[in-house]
Chain A
Amino acid sequence: MGFRSLRVFQARALTAQTAETDAIRFLVGTQSLKFDNQIHIIDFDDENNMINKSVLLHDAGEMWHISGSPADKAVLTTCYSKTSESRVLTCAAVWRMPPEWESGSHESPDDSSNNPQTLELLCHLDNTTHGSVACVLWEPLGDGKRVISLAENHVLLWDLQESSTKATISSTATLEGKGQLKFTAGKWSPHHNSTQLATANDTAIRGWDLRSMSQIYCIENAHGQLVRDLDFNPNKQYYLASCGDDCKVKFWDVRHINEPVKCLEEHSHWVWSVRYNHSHDQLLLTGSSDSRVILSNMVSISSEPFGHLVDDDDLSDNEESQQEDKGKEPLQDSIIATYEEHEDSVYAVEWSAADPWLFASLSYDGRLVINRVPRALKYHILL
């Protein structure tokens, strides 16, 4: 298990390059009010255990959220804040990386003398009427033509046309209620033909049907405090994980919303980010402002609660007959590892799109750490 850290600016926006399936690549958006913000493209060379960084200029403003298109690896969206007339507004836009970025510079981080290339703006997700954008979600496994933006208490579904240079709102939904409601996070479900969306506002989690743009379920008081993030189980369509300010990670079956299926309480401060592994849904990654990243093995509620039919690393010394018996024993949920390399709050964690055993975590001080799932566990799951 190697880890590489590299210092960028203060940052809280991190995404894997979703459409890239060969190279292990993460995108980090910086957060600086004074200087030009950048998108750092982090390439991890698995064979040589090397990290390469490329920088693209993002001069629109500091980034709060970043998300890569699932169809075109050069296309991405960012949510950035813009200050105009003493007013701070978070906007969203679709960008294209210049085709020559790779040839551009493999410079060292401190080498800023040669000017980095600039992102090419494709279109704004114009939100002047709807307020600050919390995040932009691409349609999972889609063709990169549809995105959702969560702005204040609105859900906006956009169609990107003409090679994403034009964005039109195809439908909207608004969360009504007392007080100032504001979405904090959201996730587009990869199941049900991508017709469902889950959002978080305050302590509640809501599910939406995108065809009718109406609420389909609502988990009130899902967390004792604010819900910070959520993620869908990639293999089990009704399962989702959520995390929040009560230091807990909860697992929900949205058909039975009265009680969480499971609850983890391992962090000692707010949990900001939760991510299922894209292929092995027992692996769960959480990042917290206690500066820790925790990798958990939630076998009991995964799609493979009994492990693979042929499993176990100690099988080699066992008789063939014992294999099946072993396979039927439900495995224990456990914490695989706690990563303490960060020294500031970790706001984002992300699995690599190319290598399911690799993940990155980003702390506020700009440190990005890339870790691998422990080899023993990897073989345990695979074999």
Chain B
Amino acid sequence: MISATTPPDSDPTGRRRVHSMLKLYYGLNEEGKVVEQAESLDPCDINGPHFDPEVYLNKLRKECSLGELMDHESCTVKQIRSLDSDMQTLVYENYNKFISATDTIRKMKNDFKKMEDEMDCLSANMAAITEFSAHISGTLQDQHAQITKLSGVHTLLRKLQFLFELPARLNKCLELQAYAQAVSAHRRARCVLQQYSHMPSFRGIQDDCHVIMEQLAHQLRQKFRDGGSSAKDLSECVELLLQLDEPAEELCDKFLSHAQSRLEADLQGLEAELKDSPVTDTDILEFIDRGCNEFVSNLCLVIASYQELFINQMANGKLHVFVDTLAARYFSLVERRIQEEKGVGDNSLLVRALDRFHRRLQAISKLLPGSAVPSQGTEIVVRAARERIKQYLSALQTFYHDSLTDVRQALAAPRGATSKDATPSLTELLTSLSNFILNQLKSVLASVHLFTAKDITFSNKPYFKGEFCSQGVREGLVVSFIKLICQSSRQYCESAGDRGGSTPPALLLLLSRLCLDYETSTISYILTLTDEQFLVQHHTPVTPVTALCAEAREAAQKLLNHYVKVQGLIISQMLRKSVETRDWVNTIEPRNVRAVMKRVVEDTTSIDVQVGLLYEEGVRKAHSSDSSKRTFSVYSSSRQQIRYAPSYTPSAPMDTSLLSNIHKLFSERIDIFSPVEFNKVSVLTGIIKISLKTFLECVRLRTFGRYGLQQIQVDCHYLQMYLWRFVSDENLVHFLLDEIVGSAAHRCLDPSPMEQSVIEVICERG
């Protein structure tokens, strides 16, 4: 009835609408979900579930006119009809479906029945199979046990056969010297034999084996003892013996003693080489090579095999002692060899040898970590380096003395020929000497520098980084050498001082200049060079450059002073002899300047040239415009008369003292043997001072006749003419010559001086 009251909306989509309506009815929406809330609760909704026909009708009746009611009624009737037809269709469709379902069910029922039968059959078959299987296994049980037993017997028999064959096999092994095989075979059998030793047959085998093994062990020991075998064989031997339960300690001792004997043979070889051949035959590199290849590598081998063999059983103590004693002997040999290395020509060989020596010892430190051997080796290298520095120092010393001797000869040789040849070469001699020394020092530094080269293993040891550079090379070599130069220079002054010029004065001059050059530049240059080359880090206090320079300067000063003294004395001696040997009372009237004065001037000139080659001119006080022309008579006669004459008359001694005092007031005290400055003028001044003072003192010891005095006047004027140009202060020459003439006048029995003009004529004549 419901559908009847629902007016159909449209016809073409009737079926679809019907489905949806059904769905709606059954509470299914499009998505298949039950939708209830969507339905209105309006009782007037003809399609709603809460439709109340009474309310609906009342409503219609109230609201609609008759026409409308009629229309509505016809619409509703139409809808009811369509709904009826729809329902009819649906019912029909459903009926068909029921029928086909029923057919299917019936067919299934038949199939299941058939399957049940087949299953029954299968279970019956399985039961039969189980029965059969049980039956079969029951029958085979006996045979299986038998087979197992038989196979057990078989293995046992094989073992037994091995045992029985063991003695024979061992024998054969023994014959073939296949000791390792024998030992392993015996080891395999040993336990069994031990276990069954109560049985006579096994006992027999065991005894046999024992005997054989004894023999084997004996042979092994024999072999071991022979020592002829190589280290490898030896270690194999030991391994086998160890397996044979030889006492490890004893073996260890034996092993070591054998190793020792072999290593000692190596050492003896080395020693023989050391003894037999004088150094020249084999160089040190070969020696060290041999040592490394034979002794050190064998030692390493011994250490390695010892550790392999015994390390579990034994402490390392024994090995350490062993290694240490042998290494000590080796080291002593090496040291002896190094000590024989005295030639300083090629340092690279020694350094390479030391490097190899040191490098090979590192292997020991790897093998035997706690060993003192490598550090001892380093010590040896350090000692060798120290020794080397000393040798270089003495070589430098010898070189220095040799080159001085050369210079001496060079100075002496040309003097015999011509005196002119000697002087020009002085500068060359100085430069060549200086260069020689510097080059030698440089080459020594280069040689020593090899010790610190990067590729040398020991160069990174702390000694070679620090002490070697600063204390060794800088202090021990360079500074010592410079000091030595200064010292030997000073010795020239002292030794020659007493016995008189055993050293040629030119050498003194040259050395003085050398020392001065050292002070000004060379020392700092050398030290800077050293510091740069060796990257010296001054951990320890080192000699400062200034101290060395001061020493060099002192030496230079001393040498120059001594030079002045020696040259002064040579001239003094001439003057003195000339004054002492002449009879001044009975001499004839002067016609010439005495030859000795010319000689003095000549010598002074040549000294001037000589000094001028090496030293700068120096400062002199301003000359008066006519220095050489200074009238000698002014003081030699007239002023001397004033000065000395009153002393002849006892009535006026006060005048003497007054005049003399005034004179002294204006002249400073002259130190005769006083230090000179480093320039030509000062040197010449010193020499002239010494000479003239001697002249003065000698004159005062003599008595002169009239012509004696005049001769002195002539001589002094001559000296005055030529000497003023050499000195820093010409007044000094004037003063001393003044004194000489004055003293001569005083010592004169008949003081009547010569006319100045005559003196000048004589002097200019030559």
Contacts and interface: CB of A to CB of B under 8 A. Distances in A.
Contact of B747 (A33, A112, A223): A33
Contacts of B656: 7
Given A83-B703, A83-B749, A88-B703, A32 B672 contact: no
Interface stretch (B111-119, B265-273, B492-500): B492-500
Interface residues of B, number: 34
B153 interface: no
Given A10-B746, A224-B499, A289-B693, A86 B705 contact: yes
Interface stretch (B277-285, B455-463, B588-596, B646-654): B646-654
Given A33-B748, A88-B585, A345-B697, A81 B672 contact: no
B749 A33 contact: yes
B671 interface: yes
A59 interface: no
Nearest to B653: A7
B621 interface: no
A365 interface: yes
A112 B657 contact: no
A310 B234 CA distance: 86
A185 to B, nearest CB: 13
20 contacts: A8-B653, A9-B647, A10-B647, A33-B746, A34-B648, A88-B585, A109-B653, A110-B652, A110-B653, A112-B651, A221-B499, A268-B671, A268-B673, A270-B697, A289-B693, A290-B672, A340-B669, A343-B660, A345-B697, A364-B700
| Category for how many chain A residues contact B | 20 to 34
Interface of B: 497-500, 569, 585-586, 647-654, 656-657, 660-661, 664, 669, 671-674, 693, 697, 700, 703, 705, 746-749
A41 to B, nearest CB: 16
A342 to B, nearest CB: 10
Nearest to A10: B746
Interface in A180-239: 221, 223-225
A125 interface: no
A86 B585 contact: yes
A269 interface: yes
6 interchain residue pairs of minimum CB distance: A269-B672, A268-B671, A112-B650, A88-B703, A268-B673, A343-B664
A87 B657 contact: no
Interface string A103-122: 00000011010000000000
Interface string A345-360: 1000000000000000
A80 to B, nearest CB: 12
A269 B748 contact: no
A110 B651 contact: yes
A67 interface: no
Contacts of A88: 585, 703
A10 B643 CA distance: 13
A340 B668 CA distance: 12
Interface in A138-174: none
A35 B569 CA distance: 36
B705 A35 contact: no
Contact of B654 (A110, A247, A340, A343): A110
B690 to A, nearest CB: 9
Contacts of B669: 291, 340
A86 B697 contact: no
Contacts of A10: 647, 746
Contacts of A34: 648, 749
Given A33-B747, A110-B654, A343-B660, 9 more contacts: A7-B653, A7-B654, A7-B656, A10-B746, A35-B648, A88-B703, A224-B500, A291-B669, A343-B664
Contacts of A291: 669
B653 to A, nearest CB: 5
A31 to B, nearest CB: 9
Contacts of B648: 32, 34-35
Interface string A263-283: 000001110000000000000
Contacts of B748: 33
Which of B569, B647, B703, B705 has the most A CB atoms < 10 Å from its CB?
B647
Contacts of B500: 224
Contacts of B661: 343
Given A33-B749, A81-B703, A83-B585, A268 B654 contact: no
A38 B463 CA distance: 82
A365 B749 contact: no
B703 A33 contact: yes
Contacts of A9: 647, 650
Interface in A71-123: 81, 83, 86-88, 109-110, 112
Nearest to B569: A225
Contacts of A109: 653
Nearest to B670: A290
A366 B661 CA distance: 13
Contacts of A345: 697, 700
Nearest to B693: A269
Nearest to B690: A269
A246 B672 CA distance: 12
A364 B693 CA distance: 14
Contact of A247 (B651, B660, B673): B673
Nearest to B657: A7
Contacts of A110: 650-654
A10 to B, nearest CB: 6
Nearest to B658: A7
Contact of A365 (B499, B569, B660, B674): B660
A268 B651 CA distance: 35
Nearest to A90: B703
B703 A35 contact: no
Interface in A229-268: 246-247, 268
A270 B690 CA distance: 10
A290 B748 CA distance: 24
Contacts of A223: 498
A15 B495 CA distance: 37
A221 B498 contact: yes
B409 to A, nearest CB: 26
A224 B585 CA distance: 30
A345 B699 CA distance: 13
A249 to B, nearest CB: 14
B697 to A, nearest CB: 6
Contacts of A112: 650-651
Nearest to A81: B703
Contacts of A221: 498-499
Nearest to B650: A112
A85 B616 CA distance: 54
Contacts of A366: 647
A3 to B, nearest CB: 15
Contacts of A33: 703, 746-749
Contacts of B664: 343
A291 B670 CA distance: 9
B167 to A, nearest CB: 96
Nearest to B749: A33
A88 B583 CA distance: 9
Given A10-B746, A86-B585, A86-B586, A35 B650 contact: yes
Contacts of B650: 9, 35, 110, 112
A33 B647 CA distance: 11
A383 to B, nearest CB: 36
A83 to B, nearest CB: 6
B171 to A, nearest CB: 93
Interface in A32-56: 32-35
A311 B31 CA distance: 142
B658 to A, nearest CB: 10
A327 to B, nearest CB: 35
Nearest to B746: A10
A8 B660 CA distance: 13
A270 B671 CA distance: 11
A358 to B, nearest CB: 23
A225 B703 CA distance: 23
Q: Interface centre among A9, A246, A269, A366, by most B CB within 10 Å? A: A269
B749 A269 contact: no
